[in-house]
């Protein structure tokens, strides 16, 4: 095999590996909505409500009230990374209310991505449209 052929094979291999890596990262970030629903109902629904409207049983005692996650117009402006940060590190980490606690010690990163997938697919029924 000459240098030119080796270079072509190497370039092709690197391109294929890059595509596979990007695809796996996108698949990971997408999460599993079914698993996310379980975590949402266990952790999030007490404040955000079972339908994500910010009307859970604990919401009455909170000021400000929890976000209405079913508001597609609002949630579609949020990136998944922003939502991830808020869930993992709490509201203050993203310049939001201290009433939103950090759940990173309770939920794994995979579980947080699953919750985000559930919010996107079942609660707001929206994707990130950018901000």
pLDDT tens per residue, range 73-126: 999 999 999 999 999 999 999 999 999 999 999 999 999 999 999 999 999 999
Identify the CA nearest to 29 among candidates 127, 103, 102, 95.
127
- Examine the domain organization and report whether 67 and 8 are in the same domain: no
Q: How far apart are CA 12 and CA 58, in angstroms?
A: 55
| Ordered DSSP codes for 13-53 | HHHHHHHHHHHHHHHHHH--HHHHHHHIIIIIHHHH-TTSS
Say what the pLDDT of residue 7 is: 54
In this prediction, residues 25-54 reach a mean pLDDT of 88
- Examine the domain organization and report whether 40 and 72 are in the same domain: yes
The answer on pLDDT for 17 being more than 50 is no
- Examine the domain organization and report whether 47 and 17 are in the same domain: no
- Examine the domain organization and report whether 25 and 1 are in the same domain: yes
The answer on pLDDT for 9 being more than 80 is no
What CATH code is carried by the domain that includes residue 51? 1.10.760.10
The total domain count for the chain is 2
In this prediction, residues 67-77 reach a mean pLDDT of 97
- Examine the domain organization and report whether 47 and 94 are in the same domain: yes
Tell me, yes or no, whether 59 lies in a domain. yes
Q: What is the DSSP-derived secondary structure letter of residue 96? A: S
Average pLDDT, the chain: 86
Q: What residues make up the domain containing 11?
A: 1-30
């Amino acid at each position: 095999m000459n240098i030119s052929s080796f270079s072509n094979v190497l370039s092709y291999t690197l391109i294929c590996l890059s595509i596979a890596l990007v695809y796996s990262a996108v698949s990971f970030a997408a999460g599993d909505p079914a698993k996310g629903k379980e975590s949402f109902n266990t952790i999030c629904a007490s404040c955000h409500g079972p339908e994500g409207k910010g009307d859970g049983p604990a919401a009455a005692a909170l000021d400000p009230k929890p976000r209405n996650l079913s508001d597609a117009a609002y949630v579609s402006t949020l990136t998944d990374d922003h939502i991830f940060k808020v869930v993992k590190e709490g509201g203050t980490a993203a310049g939001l209310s201290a009433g939103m606690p950090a759940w990173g010690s309770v939920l794994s990163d995979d579980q947080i991505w699953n919750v985000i997938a559930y919010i996107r697919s079942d609660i707001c029924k929206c994707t990130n449209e950018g901000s």
